[in-house]
Structure 1
Amino acid sequence: SYRLFGPQDKGYYGKKLLNGTWTGMVGELIHGIADMGTPMSASADNYQDIDFSEPLFIEGFAAAYKRPVPEPDFAGFVKPMSPYSWLLIFMSSLIILIVTGVIFRIY
């Protein structure tokens, strides 16, 4: 039979203290409190003091999703500015056109 429990040091994997002793899950493995530990990465320090099993596979986790297909949008060039901005541009162009026409009629 077996019993599952977490490390008594608030869930830490463990760190090596200055006097050479380990805390956390690594300390429980070294002192014989636990027989096996959860997956952890091997560092130079803990690799010297505990045995690691051979990795079965190495896998990076990532979220994958289908890339959206862009739909053609013929009015896409007007979307960067608000309708109010386009109204001001249109009105300014109209005023410039009228003023230019008046100036050419005078001369």
Structure 2
Amino acid sequence: MVSDIALMKHHVNVLFKKDDNNRMTFVNEPPNEAAPRIFIGGTQLGNVVRYSNALEENVIKKLERSTSCRFCYRLGRNNHHFKHRPANQQFLDWTCFRVS
């Protein structure tokens, strides 16, 4: 049986085109719009996080600290759907999925 985290990795690889650094570039369906700046897929085994190639390295480092917080850890463990963005990250375009 395939684990939830393996399915989430497959999911993100199907949703978005990526560059050689594993950074998202475009949505993988017409009209191939730009990918969101961040993708967070939460599972009970952990999170799959991918960043846009449009983000600068210093922004990614800050986001890595934020996405390793308890909020994201709990994302895969909550029994309800994610409804709103945390206040400190409202400026970002992001996609968030949960597998339970």
Same fold (TM over 0.5): no
Q: So what's the TM-score if we normalise by structure 2?
A: 0.21
- Name whichever structure is richer in helix by fraction: 1
Which has the greater radius of gyration?
1
